[in-house]
A and B are shown apart, each in its own frame.
Chain A
Amino acid sequence: MGGATIAEKIVSRAVGRKAKAGEVIEAVPVDKLYFNEVIGPPAVLNFQKDFEDVYTASGKKLQVFNPSRIAFMPDHTVPSCSIKVSQGISLIRDFANDQGIAMYKEGDGIEHTIASEEAFVLPGEIAVATDSHTCTQGALGALAFGIGTTEGENLLATGELYSFTVPETISFRVKGRFQRGVYAKDLVLHVLGTMGEGGASKKVAEYSGPTIDSLDMDGRFTICNLSVEMSARTAIVNPDKTTLSYVEAALARRGMAMTDDLRGMVARSDPDATYSKTVDVDAATIEPTVSLPHSPANAKPVSQVSDPISTVFIGSCANAREADLTIAAKILKGRKVSPSTNLIVIPASRRVYNWAMDQGLLKVFADAGANIESSNCGPCFGKHMGILGPGDRCLSTSNRNYKGRMGSPDAFIYLGSPAVAAATAIEGRVADPRKYLPAGEA
């Protein structure tokens, strides 16, 4: 009998019996559920419309399954970019207040960043949200994935996922030291390039090995975030000391501590767990990498690309945490953004924003000539704060470069690390960051 993967263990804990990959489970209770302001409003409206009669017939008030396990995080187009968006935010705020659910404010941050920074999602939990990049929480050792509006409304009522297939897992074993100028983003773009957009369909992408062990949490978040671009059900990293000290710090900021109960939730894959496939990656061979239009899997070494770029976006749930802004600022310090390029910097949360201000990073960006915006998804969502026009070429630290993703379908989007983005902003064309890094600098 082989051992269990972390994904199997988390589902087993949730349902109270041993669950195996491939089996369909009738009902799986989730630990955490969060909504943005895009899907939150219709999910709430549908919940009220579809379930009202059941509550009335039972003589009960409309009440979500457990308010303390739910949160609303308006982040995509905030501060509000349209009247309808404002109406949606008011709707979820009223609902959250009525039900006793946590309601974050515009500018508090991108949902997937807040969910981890606020210790809302914890290791070993099952977390779902109405957004495909919920997989970001896998960096915490949580089993986290996106759901649609209807699933969101059902979860508000019962807190359960129905007809859930326990996913199989692909093991990505990563060894080797990054070359200078290579970061987690380059690694994951390289992986997408080898796997293709459908390469991990329905599977959990589990990352392990010495390279992952030595990565900070910000790098792990980036890798898990982008794994959905190969259609993975989700991504996950086995929790270790790095994970636990991150979680302890996040809890401490909220005046809480790690308890034995929380520690007891932490799961790790057994050494003899069964994987559907194992992929070995040698990180030492990876160069700084960009994904060319119009697919995240269209990865090329940056040394082979020098296309002109009119907009650089450093932001999104993929790459706008402390480590990301630190790298970008190191490269931009004392330099100017190219006259032909517009640089937009959006820290992933209010906490990161304020930290970057205290550290002087925002001044570095401002001096270089960047537009710095309060925390939100910004141009990644293609709705406000830097919409691309026909013929525009953008280098973005986000995760999707689909045709039309950031505005006009006749624009071109390239994906890269914060280092590549900073170097590109300086040169006004896709640029190799290595020449801007001080010698001996990682």
Chain B
Amino acid sequence: MQVRGKVAKRFDDDINTDYIIPAYLLQESWDKQFFADHAFEAYDPAFAPTCRANKESIVVARNNFGCGSSREQAVYAIKYNNVVAVVAQSFPDIFFRNCLNNGLLPIQVADTSTIGLGDELVIDLDTRKLKDLTTGQEHDIVATDASIETMKRGGFLGYVKERLRQRLNAQPPRAP
């Protein structure tokens, strides 16, 4: 499975989810697109228009992207601005799992310093290579088999529904 996109934004180390979507917005909507409209509102207001300018954008960062609060709205804020993947040198667990659950690809590579703004990237989940078409460089994707599987499935939901189905069918029907 291949995913392509253009690098729309680059960030440094330790971008926290408060920067991605500030707390005062979290309770104001249950609609995912709402958070995309306010992505990086206080930290980098150009984020949404810049990412939306491409059909498929990719965000590149250094270490520890998505640290801090567990708010999944941070993932909606990124994804629903036409972002297909975040490429970084490391991700904290909660953000990583939130990405997996929402079909935003969290791609870990050893060194993101040579990936430039505007570069065209191809992410190949089968060969586990990230190819920078602009520089011709190739990066190894660091991931467990399980997370590659989940990325291909677009999240856990289908799997969880199947587990629930098996469990419910193993129980006698509830008395009316």
What is the interface of chain A, defined by CB distance below 8 A to chain B? 24, 27, 37-39, 41-42, 45, 50-51, 54-55, 57-61, 63, 76-77, 82, 84-85, 88, 130-132, 145-151, 154, 157-158, 160, 162-163, 165, 197-198, 201-202, 228-229, 231, 233, 295, 381-383, 400, 402-405, 409
Contacts and interface: CB of A to CB of B under 8 A. Distances in A.
B70 A402 contact: no
B157 A150 contact: yes
A45 B32 CA distance: 13
Contact of A403 (B43, B144, B150): B43
A405 B18 contact: yes
Interface stretch (B77-85, B110-118, B122-130, B158-166): B158-166
B70 A132 contact: yes
Nearest to A44: B30
Interface size range on B against A: 35 or more
Given A132-B94, A198-B14, A403-B43, A148 B75 contact: yes
Contact of B16 (A157, A201, A402): A402
Given A54-B164, A54-B168, A150-B155, A42 B14 contact: no
A228 B17 CA distance: 13
Contacts of B29: 84
Contacts of A295: 14
Contact of A51 (B102, B164, B174): B164
A27 B163 contact: yes
B164 A163 contact: no
A111 B47 CA distance: 33
Interface string B1-32: 00000000000011010110011101111100
A410 B74 CA distance: 21
Nearest to B145: A24
B28 A82 contact: yes
A24 B145 CA distance: 9
Contacts of B63: 198
B165 A148 contact: no
Given A38-B26, A198-B63, A202-B92, A154 B157 contact: yes
A59 B165 contact: no
A404 B19 contact: yes
Nearest to B63: A198
B146 A148 contact: no
Given A39-B26, A295-B14, A402-B18, 16 more contacts: A27-B163, A41-B27, A42-B30, A50-B157, A60-B168, A60-B174, A132-B70, A148-B97, A150-B98, A162-B156, A163-B156, A197-B13, A201-B92, A381-B23, A382-B23, A405-B23
Contacts of B98: 148-151
A231 B157 CA distance: 26
A163 B94 CA distance: 13
Given A60-B168, A231-B67, A403-B19, A160 B163 contact: yes
A402 B19 contact: yes
A41 B42 contact: no
Contacts of B42: 403-404, 409
Given A84-B27, A165-B144, A148 B70 contact: yes
16 contacts: A24-B144, A42-B30, A60-B173, A60-B174, A82-B28, A146-B94, A154-B156, A198-B92, A202-B92, A381-B23, A382-B24, A383-B27, A402-B18, A403-B42, A404-B18, A404-B42
A241 B139 CA distance: 51
A85 B27 CA distance: 6
A383 B72 contact: no
A253 to B, nearest CB: 29
